[in-house]
Structure 1
Amino acid sequence: MPTRALILLEGHKINGLLYVQAAQRLGLRPITLAANPTQYDYLASEGIKAIRADTDDFDELIHLCSKLDATYGIAGITGFAGLDESLYLTVAKLCRRFELPGPKPVSIARCSDKFTQRQFLAQAGVPVPAYRLAANAMEVESSATEIGLPVILKPAEGSGSRGVRLCRDMDELVKHAKYMLEGAYRSQRSPKILVEEFAEGPFYDVVTMGDAVIAVGAADFDRPPHFVPCASMFPAPLDDEEHGSITEVSLSCLRALGLGWGPGNIEVRWTNRGPLVIEVNARLPGWTTPRLVELAYGVDIINEHIKLAIGVRADLHATHSHTSAARFLVSDRDGFLDRIEGASRAAAVPGIVEVKFYVGPRTPIVRKGDFGDVIGHVIATSPDRTRTEAIIQQAIDQIDWSITPLPLSGE
């Protein structure tokens, strides 16, 4: 009898391989449906079956899944949101269509639109920053005036900090609104911009599974006005009262949005008003977070997510208590990456788990102020927070790279 299939919609350059490996450990055959499978290197290197498909065409996906179900039997369907959160809504609809375990499409839809999400949270009494929805430059300016500068401008749909910017004065506001309305998002049927109060304070990353909080981490970002991640740590350095408050607010988010199945990721700022919810993602967190959670708590959230997707009870009990941390490598300029040195020395530091670069020499670096600006990461772990911080700094000190500026136009 053929091994039953786990269908993965699209892939993930950091966590995709972990999903493939977890599926194989669970005795499943991972099969990826992707618009361009070649962009996920691990599919070819691991010999994973991949099918080119228009992942925006729901009827085509139903047809392909029906054929795969007839051949292998589909045990579960999941996938990755990427830049378009609507892709995870497609996953939810496919699970419903094939009567497989999965999230509720209506709940995923609530989260995919950030304005709708905030409406549900605010109506349920969940503390969120002041916000307005704008469809044109005049509405952006009036909303910012009502809320008070500085404000955050972000697209109402999307992920990876794409298009998110702190606007500290009216000039920055007008310029970024024009960029969003006339440039980057012109292809949208009706571009929608969320104008949001700038919530100042430490940033916390909450990982949930089902109706439970699994982990609370701390994160930091590179230089404003953008929000490019530069550091992450689990668990966050919180006292019991702070941890309890963030946990309570996070559970309120799940109830308000109807998220009682599968993974979730809640972003919180601790302000002078207490915890404010910045965003709820109805999916597994990306980047290095799954690795950090496993290193810190012993809970493999990717493995447990797949178990839920195939109808098996998840085991979310922590088996140990360590501190894990990631440092993200971000270029401070545009240009050509000439060299990267010291990766092997960094990897040799005791306590370092992984040193990974996403780009190689002669790669053009063009910063956009979002997740794509990150060129690599370093992960460390130890039983002690101070020791983990020292380990990762020692590794970072071993790494060096140089960038040659891009030639000016006309040169």
Structure 2
Amino acid sequence: MKKSKRILFLGGSKFQIPPIIYAKSQGHHVITCDYLPDNPGHQFADEYCNLSTTDFDAVLQLAKERNVDGIVAYASDPAAPTQAYVANEMGLPSNPYESVKILARKDLFRDFLSKNNFYVPKSQSFYSLEDSLNWFRKINRPVIVKPVDSSGSKGVSKIYDESQLEESFNYALSFSREKKVAIEEFFVRDGYQVAGDGFVVNGKLVFRCWANEHFDKLCNPFVPIGESFPSIMTEKTLEQAHRETQRLLDLLKIQQGALNFDFHYDKNGDFSFLELGPRNGGNLIPEVIKYSTDVDLVKYTVDSALGVDCSELSQVEAVGFHSSYMLHALEDGIVKDIWYSKEIRKNILEESIFIKKGDKVSRFNGSNHTLGTMIMKFESRDDMIEKMDNMEKYLKVVLE
């Protein structure tokens, strides 16, 4: 009989429930913490503590008081450095704090990539608008303006002219805990942005499942509405991505745990990281990967955090055609209905709707504006790509 362990989860949002449920199913004592007591994940825990997941000292004190055996920051960029810091301090399974901090901060990550000869757009980060102006005038347009440390694609904008800089800078600043904004030349990609998750065991990327990232062309071009599996990129380009990822892991001495990918290619076929998150992906990516490969990254994430041997995990290719989809509104308004076409209903495997008629909703400008989630299955790659790229023809939130 396995010995029950004490495990601390940093966050209890609806997207963080799966690992909490898995930990409970294994008989572990679960403690959750964040500053949102109404988050639904807390109801599954044995204990809940109201404190910020980015407060290093408070989380460390809690972890010591509860004498935890492992810490998980599932699908949370802000909590990932906290997890590494506290685990390092307590000698628990994790990765080097400084490395996780680099991966979690866009300014540090871009700087690290550039210094180590990875292909990366020109980028600089600034605390003040005034400091950014001279550099902005020297680089090619358009540019992307974004907070260095936000998650869920919040605070991101694309601008063409200096007259737009102040508004976009302040918009990004409002989502940054560090109060710092990254400005970088726009990367003209060829094909889909590639998303997905992977897993590291003993310093090696032993598993990865990559997807096509989809955006709503009628709404916000920077906030993903879903991911479709498998990626339609060529095997040659994906092998390049694997090699470059392993080179990055070696440089940062990343030893274990989940990774969330966002990368792309230019017209010359050159690979470039957009982000490499030191945690599982949101948008139900681990859940869709389980449908596609039968690999349970939720299980491996919890087990790895507790020091369980995960060496049996190996590469498994996706079978069939699956996707996640984030229900969203194109404009601010009041919900009248959710319209489903006959064609799309047969594709839906799972759905969870967070809204009801009469609710006030916001235009989809970040993952915090997600109104529901779905997992879908398709008959063919063409069917999957066509529906995910044109979902407004099949499914939409109708506003008054």
2:224 is equivalent to residue 229 of structure 1: yes
Structure 1 counterpart of 2:183: 195
Task: Specify the alignment match of 1:133 in structure 2.
Answer: 125
> Structure 2: how far apart are the matches of 1:376 and 1:246?
31
* Corresponding residue of 1:408: none
Deviations 1:58-114 (A, max 9, x none): 443334333322xxxx331112464xx442211112212332111211111112321
- The two structures have a TM-score, normalised by structure 1, of 0.84
State the shift of 1:299 in Å. Answer: 1.0
SS at match of 2:232: coil
Q: Secondary structure at the match of 1:129?
A: coil
Q: 2:199 aligns with which of 188, 198, 209?
A: 209
For the 8 Å contact 1:295–1:323, the answer to whether it is kept is no
Cα distance in 1 for residues equivalent to 2:345 and 2:337: 20
Which residue does 1:37 correspond to in 2? 37
Deviation for aligned residue 1:390? 7.3
Q: How many Å separate the matches in 1 of 2:334 and 2:231?
A: 36
**For structure 1, which segment, 91-100 or 169-178, has the greater mean C-alpha deviation from structure 2 after superposition?**
169-178
For the pair 1:154 / 2:135, whether they are aligned, the reply is no
| Match status 1:102 vs 2:101 | no
Unaligned runs of 5+ in 2: none
1:370 to 366, 371, 374: 366
Which stretch of structure 1 is more off in the superposition, 366-375 or 116-125?
Answer: 366-375
Q: CA deviation at 1:329?
A: 2.3
Query: What does residue range 229-248 of structure 1 map to in structure 2 within 5 Å?
Result: 229-248=224-243
Aligned partner (choices 51, 62, 68) of residue 64 of structure 1: 62
Map 1:352-371; keep pairs closer than 5 Å.
352-367=348-363, 369-371=365-367
Q: 1:311 matched to which residue of 2?
A: 307
Determine if the alignment matches structure 1 residue 289 to structure 2 residue 285: yes
Alpha-carbon displacement from aligned partner over 1:33-78 (angstroms, at most 9, x marks no partner): 222231x22433x465323234444443334333322xxxx33111
Q: How many angstroms does 1:399 deviate by?
A: 4.3
Q: Tell me how far apart the structure 2 counterparts of residues 218 and 394 of structure 1 sit (CA, whole Å).
A: 14
Whole-Å Cα distance in 2 between the matches of residues 247 and 206 of structure 1? 12
Percent sequence identity over matched residues? 20
1:87 to 69, 79, 86: 79
Q: Helix, strand or coil: the match of 2:255?
A: coil
CA distance in 2 between partners of 1:391 and 1:152 (Å): 28
Q: Which is worse superposed, 334-343 or 257-266?
A: 334-343
TM-superposed CA distance for 1:269, in Å, is 1.6
Question: What's the CA shift for 1:196?
Answer: 0.7
8 Å contact kept, 1:11–1:79 = no
Q: CA deviation at 1:348?
A: 5.7
CA distance in 1, matches of 2:318, 2:171: 47
Q: Tell me if the contact between 2:228 and 2:385 (Cα under 8 Å) persists in the aligned partners.
A: no
Kept in 2: contact 1:347–1:354 (CA 8 A):
no
Structure 1 residue 142, shift from structure 2 partner: 2.6
Q: Which residue identity is paired with 1:3?
A: S
Distance 1:246 1:360, change over 3 A: same
1:379-390 equivalence runs, <5 A = 379-381=375-377, 384-386=380-382, 388=384
Paired with 1:394 and 1:113, the residues of 2 have a C-alpha distance of 33
Structure 2: how far apart are the matches of 1:86 and 1:361?
A: 33
For the Cα contact (< 8 Å) 2:75–2:281, is it kept in 1?
no
CA distance in 2, matches of 1:382, 1:100: 42
CA drift of 1:166 comes to 0.9
Cα distance change on mapping 1:146 and 1:358 into 2, 3 Å = farther
Per-residue Cα deviation, 1:349-400 (whole angstroms, up to 9, x for no partner): 2x53212223333222233622223322321135742455578799986645
SS at match of 1:291: helix
Helix, strand or coil: the match of 1:37? Answer: coil
Aligned to 2:18: 18
Q: Conserved in 1, the CA contact under 8 Å of 2:30 and 2:47?
A: yes
SS of equivalent to 2:225:
strand
2:322 paired residue number: 324
Amino acid at match of 1:111: L
Q: Cα offset for 1:347?
A: 8.6
Work out the number of aligned pairs and report it. 389
Q: Counterpart of 2:183 in 1: which secondary structure?
A: strand
Shift of the alpha carbon at 1:2? 8.1
Once the two structures are TM-superposed, the CA of residue 271 in structure 1 deviates from its matched residue by 0.9
Asked if 2 retains the 8 angstrom alpha-carbon contact of 1:200 and 1:269, the reply is: no
SS in 1 for 2:243: helix
Where 2:197 maps in the other structure, the secondary structure is: strand
Contact 1:266 1:280 in 2 (8 A): yes
**C-alpha distance in structure 1 between counterparts of 2:249 and 2:123, whole Å:** 20
Instruction: Give the SS at the match of 2:14.
Output: coil
Cα gap change, 1:354 to 1:280, in 2 (>3 Å): same
Match of 2:10 in 1: 9
Distance change in 2, residues 1:339/1:30 (3 Å): same
TM-score computed with the length of structure 2 as normaliser:
0.86
| Offset from partner CA, 1:248-270 (integer Å, 9 cap, x none) | 22223323333232111231121
2:123 & 2:285 partners in 1: Cα distance?
A: 28
